[in-house]
Structure 1
């Protein structure tokens, strides 16, 4: 059973009883790893604080997580040795170790391990936030919650499996995907995933066809995927209500399952992002992208992709540990920026370009690596900065060659990839390119927040923008 934990639960909204289990696991892992008296004291203090809030008896937890302690001892020691060069913040290690224990426990003991894994990431997020400088933005804090959000999404695997069966039975001839802002970038990723992995033609729906021009679409044997953080935009609600038709399945990815949009669709999957206060969306967008990936995986019954979905919390957590300080000055000056991707990477580029506009006040344009040669290349030169997102998929080599060409033309270049030899700004490689893309975007969010602050702007409250925008 999950319950909120006092004021911490009110503040975070997503920190649950799992935290006490994670704190207990982390304490013993730190002791076994020989971290030292101060680290153990910090862990025990937090453990006691959480248990006091939750009313949990520590001895009752020991049996539940005993297997995780033993199994993760060696892994915890390796993780500790890799962190010795990091700043001397002890408490974030507790969440990392608790996550490691949870990851192993999840494979051994199902739902109990899932709770511990989610709790470990939530605890790590909370601790990291408490040890952050006071200048850390809400945007950065919320972005750092993403691994915990991904862990919570694993709790919906049964829902995804049932939805996958339903889609295989329906066999849609085409799909429509729609969203606004960051949700539109998630919808673009869904388009590429549905087409590349399922062969289902997918188009971006235009709600204005109905809300402004009054024209209903004739839909039949189709999937309608709508993505929204708030679920309150009248044009999206109206479009979904009008989209009923023979064998039309309307699916919503929502952060607020009680929002009006939920009543206009056939089924909802929650983003599990919790409250998001910064105007610049981070964790909710990545949650939508990860759910779109999971939906394609379960629809196709792709075991490898499902396993990749299950390791997403770990992949995203590793991204946050990467040092991207080499890119901190890249956005200091004014001027235009091209953000380039190909295939699923174009969705990442679209979201990153939006963040540069919102947070830094820079003119940024997402450009397909193919389309750049059909006009945009004419602007290449020293005054045009370029960011390229390149996961290790079929487009990687062409993106690398394009980066070399743009650099030769004088463009300042950030080439972001899982290849350290090519990219000072890199993430850990993964067998699933989509996870590489999501990891790059998550780490880019933190970079964008820092860049906005360096430019004297608030990434949390950009001028002229609001968190919830209700379009008609």
Structure 2
């Protein structure tokens, strides 16, 4: 094939998904010491609460960080409404507040402006990006590089899992875990390789969704950001309307739209989140839902279909880094089956310049 010949649809996204095990090793081997140093410097200033700022895929990484910060540190934590400062000109008092802004590119104007406003308002500002030279990194007091390498496909895959691992290491550093955090996560690259090697299973699963008109995704706890990110990936690549709900929220009304035609994907963590999701799974089975489970083998066996994750010995808070991978692959395979190119979704750009 000549250098200028068009590539096969999905080649870039597929290649970037395949990079994830090596990227996870790079963060653990090369990035962890720097992340720990940033965490220790911020911990010394004892922020009283935390605000997380992000858009799109990075917003789902921010939600994951919110669970970590609230569960592991007991810190009050919220997601920023950027328009309060960028559109309405609000001037909050953010003294002793840690504002974490997460962005793959670090180039979106509203993220940069809201971070600068937060710093002007007295916040400790931390940028988590894949671009150390970005505008966001430059306006922030602290910066963490997620070391994912260039990402060319429009759907973010490896930068998402890189953000999750970097945020996990950062929160562990805030609570003084030291080098033990990287040791706890050392099995992740091998688990990622094992999941990514099972392409045929995901391709078979994708056949269920080739003609789907709507999908519902649900989870609880640490798995909820995975459900939201999977829904986003399905919508931006295959254009299938995919609705994501916390299991608790699904019971408060949206359950009425579930029938035996519209597929439901449940991300079932091996831990407290999975335990909390059980009443929801029971209700879905009672309604005859086409239930597909991403989780432990025992949960998959009770569903219509699924993908069993290698979660044995993997802490619940680390499972989202692995559980999103078959869902990334699913979005890719569904899109290919529908005759579309997941590398270049229509109407999207790599850097979204919201203001």
TM-score normalised to structure 2 length? 0.90
Bigger drift between 351-360 and 271-280 goes to 271-280
Alignment partner for residue 169 of structure 2, among 286, 294, 303?
A: 294
Alignment partner for residue 57 of structure 2, among 182, 202, 212?
A: 182
Shift of 1:443: 2.0
Bigger drift between 250-259 and 150-159 goes to 150-159
Asked if the contact 1:418–1:436 (Cα under 8 Å) also holds between the matched residues in 2, the reply is no
Shift of 1:437: 1.9
Name 1:221's counterpart in structure 2: 96
Name 1:469's counterpart in structure 2: 352
Name 2:23's counterpart in structure 1: 149
Asked if the contact 2:65–2:168 (Cα under 8 Å) also holds between the matched residues in 1, the reply is yes
**1 CA distance for matches of 2:24 and 2:168?**
12
SS at match of 1:470: coil
Q: What whole-Å deviation, never above 9, does each CA across 1:103-145 have from its counterpart, x for those lacking one?
A: xxxxxxxxxxxxxxxxxxxxxxxxxxxxxx9565321211111
SS at match of 1:244: helix
Name 2:132's counterpart in structure 1: 257
Q: What whole-Å deviation, never above 9, does each CA across 1:415-468 have from its counterpart, x for those lacking one?
A: 110325625411112331133221110121112101101011111111111111
Change (3 A) 1:135 1:238: closer
Asked if the contact 2:36–2:169 (Cα under 8 Å) also holds between the matched residues in 1, the reply is no
2:183 is equivalent to residue 307 of structure 1: yes
Asked if the contact 1:428–1:436 (Cα under 8 Å) also holds between the matched residues in 2, the reply is no
Q: How does 1:159-238 map to 2 (within 5 A)?
A: 159-238=34-113
**2 CA distance for matches of 1:286 and 1:376?**
29
Name 2:290's counterpart in structure 1: 412
SS at match of 2:266: strand
Change (3 A) 1:246 1:134: closer
2:146 is equivalent to residue 271 of structure 1: yes
Name 1:389's counterpart in structure 2: 267
Shift of 1:270: 0.9
2:183 is equivalent to residue 335 of structure 1: no
Name 1:425's counterpart in structure 2: 307
Segments of 5+ residues of structure 2 without an aligned counterpart are 1-6
Aligned length: 340
Asked if the contact 1:255–1:272 (Cα under 8 Å) also holds between the matched residues in 2, the reply is yes
**2 CA distance for matches of 1:419 and 1:440?**
13
**1 CA distance for matches of 2:48 and 2:229?**
28
Higher strand share: 2
Asked if the contact 2:307–2:326 (Cα under 8 Å) also holds between the matched residues in 1, the reply is no
Shift of 1:396: 1.2
Q: What whole-Å deviation, never above 9, does each CA across 1:329-355 have from its counterpart, x for those lacking one?
A: 121123221111112211111100101
Shift of 1:288: 0.7
SS at match of 1:240: helix
Asked if the contact 2:9–2:341 (Cα under 8 Å) also holds between the matched residues in 1, the reply is no
**1 CA distance for matches of 2:56 and 2:238?**
16
Q: What whole-Å deviation, never above 9, does each CA across 1:189-214 have from its counterpart, x for those lacking one?
A: 00010001110111001111111111
TM-score normalised to structure 1 length? 0.69
Shift of 1:326: 4.0
RMSD: 1.9
Asked if the contact 2:9–2:343 (Cα under 8 Å) also holds between the matched residues in 1, the reply is no
Segments of 5+ residues of structure 1 without an aligned counterpart are 1-132
Name 1:24's counterpart in structure 2: none
**1 CA distance for matches of 2:187 and 2:175?**
18
**2 CA distance for matches of 1:293 and 1:340?**
22
Change (3 A) 1:134 1:465: closer
Moved runs in structure 1, 4+ residues, more than 4 A? 133-136
2:233 is equivalent to residue 355 of structure 1: yes
Which structure has more RCO (C-alpha within 8 Å, separation ≥ 6)? 2
SS at match of 1:170: coil
Bigger drift between 242-251 and 148-157 goes to 242-251
2:246 is equivalent to residue 368 of structure 1: yes
**2 CA distance for matches of 1:354 and 1:255?**
20
